[in-house]
Structure 1
Amino acid sequence: MSAMPIPHASTHPATPAPRTALDGRMPAAPGDLRIEAHGIAPVPETHRYGGAGRLFTVWFAPNLTMSGVFTGTVGIALGLDFATALAAVVLGTLVGAVPTAYLGTWGSRTGSGQLPLARLAFGGGVVLPGTVQWLSSIAWDALIGLFGGDALARLCGWPFWLGALVMMAAQGLLGAFGYEVIHRLQQWMTAVLAVAFVALALRLAHIGVTPEAHGSVHGADRAGAFALTSTIALSLALSWAPYASDFSRYLPRATSPVRMFWCTLLGVVVSFTGVQALGLWGASIFTDQTARGVDTVLGGGVLGSVGLLAVALAALCSNAMNDYSGSLALQTVGVRIPRPLAAALAALLGFPLVLWMHAADTAARFQNVLLFVGYWIPGFVAVVVVDWWARGRERGGADMDLSVERTRTRSALPPLLAFLCAFAATVPFMNTSLYVGPVAEALHGADLGYYVAFLVGLAVYAPFRLRRRTSHDGPAGS
C-alpha cells in the first residue's frame, strides 16, 4: 500500500475542487456541530477559527480517566512511598508533555494534522509510523475503554461486554462527528469531570484513606522503581504527541504559538498529574477494578452512580480523540475511505481488544499494552522535529507554505532508518511482564527506553538531515 500526496490547500480557489475522501465539509465556527467530513487535506485559511485557550480544555478533560488513576497506583505497587512516587509522576508527565505541546503549535501554522505533516519528514515511508499510529489508537481505545465499559456496565447492571460495546459505539460516533464536536465536548466535560474527581478526592479524605508514607524498597531498587514510575507517567503524556496538531489545525495562522504551547502543556500536566496523584493516594482501593473501587469509595447509591457515570464519560472524551486521530492516520497511509467511517472503524476494532484485556490479568496486560504502544513515539518525534527545524533553516525563517514544502522532497531511507534504530535501541531497556531487557534488569527495573529512543533517533537522523542538500537527494517515494 502506498501513501498518496496530500492535496494542496488553496486560500482563494477559483472554482470549487471536486471532493474526495481526503477533504469535504469543514466546521465553520465554534459550535458548528455537524459531521466533519474533512480528512487529511490541509485546512485553508478561510476556514480557520477559534483561539489558543480552547487547547487547554481539549487536552485537560480527556486525561481525567480511570486509566490515569490506575497508572498512578503503579508507583505504590512498585514499593515507593507517596512523596517519591508523586515526584516521579510529576517529572515523567512534564517531560512527556513538552513534545506534545510543541508539536501542537504546528497545526495553526500549516492547517494540517500530525501524521499528514509527518509525510514531510518520512516521504512515502510515512506508511510505517502511520500504520503504527493507527494501531496505537486502537490499543488506546482498549486501554481506556476497559474502565469506561466496566463503569457503564456496573451503572446499568449490564454484563461487561455490553457496557464495553455501548462505550465503543458512542466514542466511534463522536469521533465520526469530528473536530468541533470533540472540542465542544471537552469544554463541557472539563468542569464536570474536574468536579467529579475533586469529589472523589474529598471522599478519600473523609473515609480516612491515607497516602503511603513508607515505601518497601530501598537503595538501587528504589531508584529503579522511581525510574519505572516516571517512565510510565511519561508514556501517558507523550502518547498524545502523534495527535498534537490534529486538534489545532483549524486555529488561525496568527494564533500565538507561545500561548498554544502553554495552554496545551498546562492541560496535559495538570490533568495527568492530578489523576495519577489520586491513584497514588487511593492505591489500596484502586486496584485493577477501578470502577468498583470508585463505587466503593463513594458508598454506592446515588453518589456511587454519579461517580460511575463520570468514569464512563471520561473514557468517552478520551477515546473520541483516539478515534478521530486514528481516522487521520489511516488516510495518511493511503486508505481512501471517508474520515467519519475511518473513525468508526477504529472503535469497532478496539472492542475485541477490550474483551481480551478484561479476560485475564488486567493489571499486567494494561501495563504491557501501555508501554508497548509508546516505545515508537520518541523516535518519531526526533525525526519530525529535526526535519521541521531543518526546513525552517532552509526557508531562512519565512512562514511555512505546505504547497512549497511538499516539493522539497528527500529520500525516505534516512528517517525510516532512524525510526527503526530508535525503536530497536529500546529493547535492552524495556521492562514489562512480557519481557525485561538486560539493561533494565541490571538497573533494578528502571525502564529508560523512551529516553534512549529519542537520543538514538536524533543521533541517527540529524547527521543525514542537517547536512547541506546535494544533487543526490531525490524524491521521497510513494
Structure 2
Amino acid sequence: MAVSTPSTTGSAHPQPARRLGIESRSIDYVPLAERHGKVWHLFPVWFAGDAHLATVATGAIGVTLGGNMIWTAVAVVLGGAFGTFFMAFHSAQGPQIGLPQMVQSRPQFGFMGALLVWVVALVTYIGYTAFNQVLIGSTMQHLAGVPTGMSFVGYAVLAIVLAVVGYDVIHRASRWLTYLILAALVVFTVGVVVANPFTSAQLDLGSFALTPFLIQFFTAAVYQLSWSIYVSDYSRYLPPSVGVRSSFWWTYVGAWAGGAWMMLVGTVAAGLFPKTDLVDSVVSAGNTLFPGFGVTLLVITVVPLISIGALNFYGGSLTLLSSMDSIKQTRPTVTKRVVALIVIGVLSTVIAFGADEHFIEQFGEFLTVLGFLFTPWTAINLVDFYVVRRGHYSIRQIFNPRGTYGRWSWRGLLAYGVGFAAMMPFAVIGSSMGPVAGWLGGIDITMPVGLVVATGVYLLVCRSLDLEGERAMVADETEAELETSGPVPAAHEE
C-alpha cells in the first residue's frame, strides 16, 4: 500500500496530539512522527467496544421471534463472524491512510458527495447513543431507583468528557474494561455449562426455524458491520508498519469475540426467561448460577456502555466536523471538536427522552435500516481501497474540493444508488416487506445482495479511471515535503 501522507488541515506545521491532555487532532491527517501504539491494542478496543448491554439485546432477537435457543446461538456466532469480516478490513485502512474512517469516503464519492454517507453515519452515531442512554436509564432505575432522565444526562456528560480527552484515554480504558468483561464472561459461561438450566426443547437441533435463524444471522452481521464507520478512527495513530494483516486480525478477533460472546448472553437470557424484559432476563440468567451474580453481570454489561458512548461521541464529532468542512472549509480546532461533541450529546439525549418501552423492537428495526444504508458504502469503500486504487491515495487531494477526486464522484454515487435500489425488493422492516422478501416468506437477504451489486457496479464504472495518472500524482508528493511543513491545502488557505 502506497499512500501519500501530507500534513493537511490545521496549521502548516504539524501539531502533536498531546498524550496526557486533550487530543489536538480531529479530521486532519496524523503525521508519521505522531504515530504510536501497538497493533494488539486494537483487540481490547473492539472487544470492550462490542461487549455491552446493547449487544446483549441484539442476541435476544432470534428467540423473541420464535427461534429456539441453540439455533439462535448458532446464528449469532456465524452472523457475527460474517459481519465482522468487513468491519475489520476497514480497521486496516487506518494505519495506512492516517485519517478518520468517514473522511476516507471522499475518493469514492467526491468532496461533497461523501456527505451522503456522512449524514447516514451521523444518524447512526446519534441513534446508537440514544439507545445506550435508554439502556443505562432502565438499568439504573432497576438497580438503584435513579430517575431515567438523570441517567440520560449523566451518561452523556461522562462520555463527552472521555471523548474530549480522546484517542489515547479511550484505548487505555478499553484495556482495563476488557480484563473485567473477560472475567465476567468466563464465569458466566462456565457456570451455565455446569448448571445446565436448559430444557431439551431449547437445545433441540431438530427444531430448526429458517426465518428466525436468518433474521438473527443478518441482524448479528449488520450489527457488526455497523461498526465499520468507527474503526479507522481508533487505528489511525498506529504506524503503517503494523501492516494490513495484523490490523485486520487483531480487530477481527477482538470485535467478533466480544460481540458474539455478549450476544450469546442475550440469547441465553431470552431463552431462559422469554417473558421478561431485557434487564430482568439478564439478572435472572445470572442468578441461575448463584444468587447475586445476576446484578454483577448486569453491571458489567452496563459499564462498557460508557466506553462505547465515548466512541460514539468521538466518531460522531469527527463526522460532523467533516460534514461542516465539506460545506465550508475550516481549520479543525479543539474548540470546534468540543462544540461538535456537545451537539451530538444534546441530540442523542433529546431522542432518549422521547423513547418508549418498545426498545427491542425498535432496536431491531434500527439495525435493519442501518444494514440497507451501510452495505453499499462498505462494499464501495473496501473494493476501492483493496482492489481499485490499492491504497494509492493523495491525502492532500482528499482535502481539496477542486482536486483529483472532484466534488461529486458519479462512480461511487451510482454504485451506491444501484446497490441500495437492488436491496429494496428483498427488504423487511417490521411488518413491511418487499415483493421478493414476501415470496421468500419474510426472509431478509438484503446484505449479500447489496454487497454483490454495489461491488459489481463500482468495479465496472471504475474501468475508465486514470489510475496511472493518480499514482503518478501520489508519487510526486514526496514524503519529506508532505510530512514536515508542506503548504496548507488550497481548500484551507485563508
Q: Which TM-score band (shorter chain)?
A: 0.7 to 0.9
**For residues 308 and 269 of structure 1, what CA distance do their matches in structure 2 show?**
21
- 2:358: which partner in 1? 361
- Alpha-carbon deviation of 1:108? 0.7
- 1:413: which partner in 2? 410
Which residue identity lines up with residue 324 of structure 1 in the other structure? Answer: Y
Q: Which moved more, 1:246-255 or 1:335-344?
A: 335-344
Contact 1:376 1:419 in 2 (8 A): no
- Alpha-carbon deviation of 1:261? 0.7
1:116-131 aligned within 5 A: 116-123=103-110, 124-131=112-119
Matched, 1:240 2:240: no
Secondary structure (helix, strand or coil) at the match of 1:464 reads helix
Structure 1 residue runs without a partner (length 5+): 1-6
Structure 2 residue runs without a partner (length 5+): 471-490
- 1:139: which partner in 2? 127
Secondary structure (helix, strand or coil) at the match of 2:429 reads coil
- 2:483: which partner in 1? none
- 1:338: which partner in 2? 336
1:287-302 aligned within 5 A: 289-299=277-287
Task: Select which of 33, 57, 64 maps to 2:44.
Answer: 57
Secondary structure (helix, strand or coil) at the match of 2:99 reads coil
Task: Select which of 197, 206, 222 maps to 1:209.
Answer: 197
- 2:150: which partner in 1? 162
1:158-307 aligned within 5 A: 158-201=146-189, 204=192, 209-210=197-198, 212-214=202-204, 222-283=209-270, 284-285=272-273, 289-299=277-287, 303-307=293-297
Matched, 1:100 2:87: yes
Identical counterparts, % of pairs: 25
1:38-49 aligned within 5 A: 38-49=25-36
**For residues 229 and 305 of structure 1, what CA distance do their matches in structure 2 show?**
26
Task: Select which of 458, 471, 474 maps to 1:461.
Answer: 458
**For residues 215 and 441 of structure 1, what CA distance do their matches in structure 2 show?**
27
Which residue identity lines up with residue 283 of structure 2 in the other structure? Answer: D
* CA deviations over 1:81-133 (Å, ceiling 9, x no partner): 33322222222111111111111111111111111111111112011101110
* CA deviations over 1:290-344 (Å, ceiling 9, x no partner): 2233334445986555334323212112221111111111111125572233223
Q: Which moved more, 1:93-102 or 1:381-390?
A: 381-390
Task: Select which of 296, 302, 309 maps to 2:299.
Answer: 309
Contact 1:368 1:434 in 2 (8 A): no
Which residue identity lines up with residue 396 of structure 2 in the other structure? Answer: S
Contact 1:415 1:461 in 2 (8 A): yes
- 2:440: which partner in 1? 443
How many residues are treated as equivalent by the alignment?
450
**For residues 286 and 56 of structure 1, what CA distance do their matches in structure 2 show?**
32
Matched, 1:422 2:419: yes
**For residues 160 and 434 of structure 2, what CA distance do their matches in structure 1 show?**
37
Secondary structure (helix, strand or coil) at the match of 1:125 reads coil
Structure 2 CA distance for partners of 1:412 and 1:288, relative to 1, 3 Å:
farther
**For residues 128 and 269 of structure 1, what CA distance do their matches in structure 2 show?**
28
**For residues 78 and 217 of structure 1, what CA distance do their matches in structure 2 show?**
14
Matched, 1:376 2:366: no
Which residue identity lines up with residue 191 of structure 1 in the other structure? Answer: Y
Which residue identity lines up with residue 149 of structure 2 in the other structure? Answer: W
Contact 2:89 2:382 in 1 (8 A): no
**For residues 301 and 348 of structure 1, what CA distance do their matches in structure 2 show?**
39
**For residues 298 and 61 of structure 2, what CA distance do their matches in structure 1 show?**
22
Matched, 1:66 2:64: no
- 2:395: which partner in 1? 402
TM-score (norm 2): 0.83
Structure 2 CA distance for partners of 1:463 and 1:391, relative to 1, 3 Å:
closer
Higher relative contact order by CA 8 Å / sep ≥ 6: 1 or 2?
2
- Alpha-carbon deviation of 1:10? 3.1
TM-score (norm 1): 0.85
**For residues 84 and 240 of structure 1, what CA distance do their matches in structure 2 show?**
25
**For residues 77 and 302 of structure 1, what CA distance do their matches in structure 2 show?**
26
- Alpha-carbon deviation of 1:208? 5.5
Q: Which moved more, 1:42-51 or 1:338-347?
A: 338-347
Contact 1:75 1:226 in 2 (8 A): yes
Q: Which moved more, 1:72-81 or 1:111-120?
A: 72-81
* CA deviations over 1:258-297 (Å, ceiling 9, x no partner): 1111000101111111112222222133767322333344
- Alpha-carbon deviation of 1:209? 3.0
- 1:150: which partner in 2? 138
- 2:346: which partner in 1? 348
- 2:482: which partner in 1? none
* CA deviations over 1:383-416 (Å, ceiling 9, x no partner): 21232245535xxx8x655236765325512211
Secondary structure (helix, strand or coil) at the match of 1:53 reads helix
Contact 2:133 2:151 in 1 (8 A): no
Which residue identity lines up with residue 320 of structure 2 in the other structure? Answer: L
- Alpha-carbon deviation of 1:216? 9.8
- 1:3: which partner in 2? none
**For residues 288 and 154 of structure 1, what CA distance do their matches in structure 2 show?**
13
Superposition RMSD in Å: 3.1
* CA deviations over 1:115-152 (Å, ceiling 9, x no partner): 11111111120111011101111111123332223223
